[in-house]
Every structure is written in structure tokens, then in C-alpha cells.
Amino acid sequence: MQHYTSVEYVLVRLAPGAPLVDHHDLKDAGGNVVTIGTASMIFALAFFDSPEYEQYFRIRLEKRLTAISIRRISFLMWQPSTATYTAKGRKTPPNLKEVGLSTIKNCLFKVAVEEHDCFAVWTPKSRRIKTTYLDEQVGDDRIPRSDYDDNIVSYYKVAKASPFPSQSFLAYYHVLEYHFLRVAEDLLHHRLTAMLNDPKFKPSRNGLDKLISAVRGQDARSDETEMLRNVLNRYVQETDLIEFINRVESMVGEKLYTKKRKIFGEPLEINPREGHALSNAASVLKHVRNAIVHSSDRYNRDECHIPLSGSEETIEEFIPLVRYFAERVIYGTAT
């Protein structure tokens, strides 16, 4: 919101819980001021008078009005945390919004370093899917019959609780990654067992060379994408995956996974046919993971993820898919 010599931006707190100090005032030598705290009443009244308020009232207030006994006018107002840049003087600067936003971002970094209070400037986004609740099933009150692996359950809980799609995706991916070596070694054990139990096998030079070749071949093939593919093949039925993808795309009303599109610089898709779906899914998940992890400047901007940017929305679209795989791995490794 712009008002004469000040510009006010909505903030989102990145860390849970409120700090001891919830208000920050910063000034420079020129007399310009940045204020971080509860939104001004001017902001609240402007929002109250805007077309956006109708949706806010329907989502946030309508049901609550009948549940409270004391109603104040202030209850109807929306006063989020904001940062306000106020330029010195009476004349509105021509580049108030640009200078104000840049100055506010610099101040937010200073507050994060010195006050341990982390904010980001809020930007609206189009939420086509509510990834937190998509494909939720109605629970019951029965105690689980299985024991789940504590370590991978911890990754799952971090993923489910993270407010950042990128961090949530990585935590879900860690559930899959946790079993890379175990599944690879299990495959090698089966191959070696078949060779050693063959009645024709002899511990001769030729026989031992075949064993060594099998071990080396396994090591040569064990790149991360293949290891991920092996884990998915081990714990997920491909027909179930295809059914899940079709259900998600039906709920969203868009070919979210099965239509080829550019994702972090690469055209990718998941072919919803047996023999292709699991392999394609492994390639897509690995590519998204690389975009999150690799932030080197040798990559183009569209090839890597920048936290708190629009690429969070791209990653959010793949949360249902990686969560589906993580849950199947947890179920498959339970006892």
C-alpha cells in the first residue's frame, strides 16, 4: 500500500513462534525510516475497503462471528505483520516503491542477523492445489499394527511440518534416499546368491572373475537416478502409481505430471503407462532435487531453485508425488 511518502508491504514470519521483541524501527542518516511490526490502521482500513476483503471475510471471519460473545470493530480488520518505508519530506518520491522495497529487504536481513527474527516480503501466488491436504483419507482411531522406522519417520514429520515446499520436498526425498544402498546391496546379494548356488559354479579363475565383474558392474550402474528407480520399483506398484497420478490430475483439473513441460530448464513428463511411469517419476524427482540442491552460479537461473521465489510454487506441485513415494517406502519397510 502506498500512502504519500510511505509504502507498506505485508510480511510473512519464516520461523514459528513470536520473538520477545515484535517491533523494529530502523533509521538512516537521511531521516528515512523503516518500521517492522503490526500493520498500520491506514493499511487495515484500506484492505477493509478493498475487493479482497470479501474473500478474507468468507474464509477467516464468517464462521467465527457466531462463536464469540464479544465483538469489536477491530475484530473485522486484518492487521498482519508489515514493513513500512517512510521517506523524509512531504513530496512523494517518484521511485518510492522500488527504493522502499529494496530498503525493507535490506532491513529484514539486518533484523534476521541481529535480532534473530526472520521475515520475508509476502507475495501473492495462485494455489492450484492444496498440497498439504491433497488426497487425504479419513482416519480412524485404531492403533497401528506395524512398527515404523524411527529415522525415516523423522524425515517424514519434518517434511510434513515445513512451511517451505523446497525443504519439504528434500525431507520427503531423504526418506527415499535413506534406502538407496540397502536396496542396491540387496539386488547384488540376489545376483551373487544365484551365481554361487549354481551347481556349475566353480571357484576357478573364470568363476571368480564373473563374481568380480558382477560386483563392479553393480558399482558402475549405481548412479543416484538408478538407485532411486530401484527403491521405487521395490516398494511401489506401478499400476498404483498410475492410478494415483490420474486421481491427482483429476482433482487439480490439469495434466500436472503427464504433460511435457519445462521444469528447471528441462522438458519432463511422466508417461502414465506400465514400464514407463516409475522410471519417468524417478527422473523427474531427481531433477527437482538437483534444482533445489545445486545453487552454483554455473547454472542458469531457470535451472536452479531460489528460496522464497516463484520456483517454490513449481516445487510445491511435486510434493504430492514425492510424499506418495515416501509413504509407500515407510509402509514397505515397517515390521
Tens of pLDDT, residues 86-117? 999 888 888 999 999 999 999 999 998 888 88
CB-CB contact of 246 with 233 (8 Å): no
Whether residues 285 and 154 fall in one domain: yes
Whether residues 158 and 286 fall in one domain: yes
Beta bridge partners of 27: 33
Whether residues 170 and 74 fall in one domain: no
In a domain, 155, yes or no: yes
For residue 192, what is the enclosing H or E element?
helix 180-196
* pLDDT of 189 above 60: no
Calpha distance 44→292 (Å, rounded): 37
Whether residues 117 and 155 fall in one domain: no
In a domain, 97, yes or no: yes
Map 271-325 to HEC letters. Answer: CCCCCCHHHHHHHHHHHHHHHHHCCCCCCCHHHCCCCCCCHHHHHHCCHHHHHHH
How many C-alpha atoms does 109 have within 13 Å on its Cβ side?
Answer: 5
Whether residues 189 and 315 fall in one domain: yes
For residue 120, what is the enclosing H or E element?
strand 119-121
How many domains does the chain contain in total?
A: 2
pLDDT of residue 178: 86
What's the whole-model pTM score? 0.71
Lowest mean pLDDT among 8-12, 39-43, 70-74, 228-232: 70-74
Whether residues 197 and 306 fall in one domain: yes
Classify residue 93 by its DSSP letter.
Answer: P
Calpha distance 242→238 (Å, rounded): 6
Domain limits at 305?
A: 150-333
* pLDDT of 188 above 70: no
In a domain, 137, yes or no: no
In a domain, 135, yes or no: no
Whether residues 107 and 155 fall in one domain: no
Whether residues 174 and 117 fall in one domain: no
Whether residues 297 and 161 fall in one domain: yes
Amino acid at 33: V
Whether residues 322 and 178 fall in one domain: yes
